[in-house]
């Protein structure tokens, strides 16, 4: 982990714990007030210097991509569980992750929209690392069984690639039972296709160098 990650990663992790405590803490009103005074002090320090817009995608000195603001995988983002992916030799992508009690939807269970967030990211990443990057065109979910909170597993594989479209399938399980199944169509957008075509044509038309 680089030096910046070692600083901001633990901040996001602290905020994940605070998110859960906001839901489950049973301290009295006086204690909540005292906690808020500390949070206000922290807020003031962090707000001293901020970006003007979203975090976006940045790159490390050695060219690796940093999506640290991403709501599913972002190292800096306390909303992200976060997910960390492992890609198998056959292209399958897997992630073991942990959902705290702040991700609750139905009592005691994971919110269905959170499962959608996770599957969108897992399937989209699978399309990208299998050579067909794109934005989610359609994501279809089947909630087969209730999804618990806590330790969960997601995985996905490319079903087929048709030109600019990747058809990806995947699921979330609690380690034993499949809870949510997903199918996604990921499409390289027209603007990206046009930019790539323009760049290819510029290379073709460039005069030969000695």
Ligand X SMILES: CCCCCCCC(=O)SCCNC(=O)CCNC(=O)[C@H](O)C(C)(C)COP(=O)(O)OP(=O)(O)OC[C@H]1O[C@@H](n2cnc3c(N)ncnc32)[C@H](O)[C@@H]1OP(=O)(O)O
Which residues sit at the interface with ligand X, rule CB under 6 A?
Answer: 120-121, 124-125, 128, 135-138, 165, 185, 187, 189-190
DSSP 8-class letter at 103: G
Tell me whether residue 11 or residue 85 sits nearer to ligand X (CB atom): 85
Enter the tokens of residue 43.
């807020």
For residue 128, the minimal CB distance to ligand X (Å) is: 4
Query: Alpha-carbon distance 169 to 139, whole Å?
Result: 10
Residue of minimal Cβ distance to ligand X: 124
For residue 2, the minimal CB distance to ligand X (Å) is: 20
For residue 14, the minimal CB distance to ligand X (Å) is: 26
For residue 181, the minimal CB distance to ligand X (Å) is: 18
For residue 172, the minimal CB distance to ligand X (Å) is: 15
E-strand spans in 29-175? 58-59, 65-66, 86-87, 93-99, 135-143, 150-162, 165-173
Tell me whether residue 35 or residue 71 sits nearer to ligand X (CB atom): 71
Candidates 99, 88, 82; CA nearest to 150 is 99
Question: Please, what's the b/e burial string for 88-104 (b: 16 or more CB within 10 A of its CB; e: otherwise)?
Answer: eeeeebbbebebbebbb
Tell me whether residue 33 or residue 91 sits nearer to ligand X (CB atom): 91
For residue 65, the minimal CB distance to ligand X (Å) is: 8
Tell me whether residue 138 or residue 201 sits nearer to ligand X (CB atom): 138
Enter the tokens of residue 187.
């499409």
Tell me whether residue 120 or residue 155 sits nearer to ligand X (CB atom): 120
Phi–psi pair at 18, nearest 5 degrees: -65, -40
Q: Which uninterrupted H or E stretch holds 63? A: none
Angle at 80 between CA 135 and CA 134, to 5 degrees: 10
Name 7's Cβ contacts closer than 8 Å, sequence gap at least 6: none
Tell me whether residue 67 or residue 147 sits nearer to ligand X (CB atom): 67
């Amino acid at each position: 982990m680089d030096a910046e990650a070692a600083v901001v990663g633990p901040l996001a992790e602290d905020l994940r714990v605070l998110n859960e405590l906001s839901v489950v803490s049973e301290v009295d009103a006086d204690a909540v007030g005292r906690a808020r005074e500390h949070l206000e002090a922290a807020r003031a320090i962090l707000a001293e210097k901020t970006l003007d817009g979203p975090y976006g995608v940045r790159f490390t000195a050695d060219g690796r991509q940093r999506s640290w603001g991403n709501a599913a995988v972002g190292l800096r983002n306390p909303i992200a569980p976060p997910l960390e992916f492992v890609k198998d030799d056959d292209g399958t992508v897997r992630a073991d992750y942990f959902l705290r009690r702040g991700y609750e939807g139905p009592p005691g269970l994971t919110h269905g929209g959170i499962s959608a967030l996770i599957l969108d990211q897992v399937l989209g990443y699978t399309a990208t690392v299998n050579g067909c990057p794109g934005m989610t065109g359609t994501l279809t979910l089947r909630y087969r069984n209730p999804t618990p909170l806590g330790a969960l597993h997601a995985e996905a594989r490319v079903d087929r690639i048709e030109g600019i479209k990747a058809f990806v399938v995947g699921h979330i399980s609690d380690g034993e039972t499949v809870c949510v199944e997903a199918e996604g169509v990921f499409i390289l957008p027209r603007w990206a296709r046009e930019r790539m075509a323009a760049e290819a044509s510029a290379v073709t038309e460039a005069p030969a160098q000695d």
